[in-house]
Structure 1
Amino acid sequence: MIEGTLVAPPKRSYWIEDTIRHWILFRSVRGLTVTDGGTIDGNGKIWWQNSCKVNTKLPCRQAPTALTFYSCTNLKVNNLEVLNSQQIHISMERCSNVRMSRLSIRAPGTSPNTDGIHITHSKDVKVMDCAIKTGDDCMSIEDGTENLHVKNIVCGPGHGISIGSLGDRNSQAQVANITIDGVRLHDTTNGARIKIWQGGRGYAKNIVFKNMIMDNVRDPIIIDQNYCDSATPCTKQQAVYVHRYNLVCYSFV
Structure 2
Amino acid sequence: MKHSIDYDSSSSYNKAVLIDVEDYGAKGDGRDDSEAFEKAWGVTCSSSQPVTFMVASDKKYKLKPLTFQGPCKSNVKVMIEGSIEASSDQSDWDGKDERHWLLFDEINDLEVGGGGTIDGNGNIWWQNSCKIKTSLPCRDAPTAMTFSNCKNLKVNDLSIRNSQQIHVSFESCSNVHASQLSISSPESSPNTDGIHVTGTQNINITNCAIQTGDDCISIVGGSQGVKAMSITCGPGHGISIGSLGSDDSENYVSDVVVDTATLTGTTNGVRIKTWQGGSGYAKRITFQNINMNNVENPIIIDQNYCDSKRPCDEQKSAVEVSDILYKNIKGTSASEIAVDFQCSKSVPCHGIVLQDINLVKEGGGTAKSSCKNVEWTKEAQTLPEPCAENY
- Scaled to the shorter chain, the TM-score interval is over 0.9
Q: Which residue of 1 aligns with 2:309?
A: 231
Kept in 2: contact 1:171–1:200 (CA 8 A): no
Is 2:340 the counterpart of 1:252?
Answer: no
Kept in 2: contact 1:225–1:239 (CA 8 A): no
Deviation at 1:200, TM superposition (A): 2.5
Deviation at 1:170, TM superposition (A): 7.4
Partner deviation per Cα, 1:174-217 (whole Å, 9 max, x = no partner): 11100000010001000010000010310111000000001010
Percentage identity across paired residues of the two chains: 55
Amino acid paired to 1:182: T
Q: Which residue of 2 aligns with 1:123?
A: 201
Amino acid paired to 2:328: S
Amino acid paired to 2:325: V
Tell me the SS of whatever aligns to 1:19. Answer: coil
1:109–1:214: structure 2 CA closer, same or farther, 3 Å change rule? same
- Structure 2 distance, partners of 1:165, 1:154, is 22
Tell me the SS of whatever aligns to 2:164. Answer: coil
Tell me the SS of whatever aligns to 2:298. Answer: strand
Gaps of 5+ in 1: none
Tell me the SS of whatever aligns to 2:229. Answer: strand
- Counterpart of 1:154 (choices 227, 232, 240) is 232
Runs of 4 or more, structure 1, over 4 Å off, are none
Tell me the SS of whatever aligns to 2:280. Answer: strand
Q: Which residue of 1 aligns with 2:216?
A: 138
1:55-134 alignment, distance < 5 Å: 55-134=133-212
Gaps of 5+ in 2: 1-78, 331-391
Kept in 1: contact 2:230–2:260 (CA 8 A): yes
- Worse-superposed segment, 75-84 or 231-240: 231-240
Deviation at 1:236, TM superposition (A): 2.0
Deviation at 1:168, TM superposition (A): 4.6
Kept in 1: contact 2:222–2:250 (CA 8 A): no
Deviation at 1:36, TM superposition (A): 0.6
Kept in 2: contact 1:200–1:241 (CA 8 A): yes
Is 2:99 the counterpart of 1:45?
Answer: no
- Structure 1 distance, partners of 2:97, 2:138, is 17
Deviation at 1:172, TM superposition (A): 5.8
Is 2:198 the counterpart of 1:198?
Answer: no
Kept in 1: contact 2:244–2:319 (CA 8 A): no
Deviation at 1:12, TM superposition (A): 1.0
Q: Which residue of 2 aligns with 1:167?
A: 245
Deviation at 1:171, TM superposition (A): 6.1
Kept in 1: contact 2:106–2:148 (CA 8 A): yes
Amino acid paired to 2:270: A
- Structure 2 distance, partners of 1:48, 1:8, is 14
The structure whose RCO (Cα within 8 Å, separation 6+) is larger is 1
Q: Which residue of 1 aligns with 2:108?
A: 30
Deviation at 1:39, TM superposition (A): 0.4
Tell me the SS of whatever aligns to 1:246. Answer: strand
1:144–1:172: structure 2 CA closer, same or farther, 3 Å change rule? closer
Amino acid paired to 2:322: Y
Tell me the SS of whatever aligns to 2:124. Answer: helix
Deviation at 1:16, TM superposition (A): 2.8
Kept in 2: contact 1:39–1:80 (CA 8 A): yes
1:220–1:59: structure 2 CA closer, same or farther, 3 Å change rule? same
Q: Which residue of 1 aligns with 2:295?
A: 217
- Structure 2 distance, partners of 1:240, 1:14, is 41
- Structure 1 distance, partners of 2:240, 2:246, is 15
Tell me the SS of whatever aligns to 1:17. Answer: coil
Tell me the SS of whatever aligns to 1:46. Answer: helix
Give the count of matched residue pairs. 252
Tell me the SS of whatever aligns to 2:295. Answer: coil
- Counterpart of 1:9 (choices 80, 83, 87) is 87
What value does the CA root-mean-square deviation take over the aligned residues? 1.2
What is the TM-score with the length of structure 1 in the denominator?
Answer: 0.97
Kept in 2: contact 1:171–1:201 (CA 8 A): no
Amino acid paired to 1:252: I
Amino acid paired to 2:206: M
Deviation at 1:114, TM superposition (A): 0.2
- Structure 2 distance, partners of 1:67, 1:230, is 27
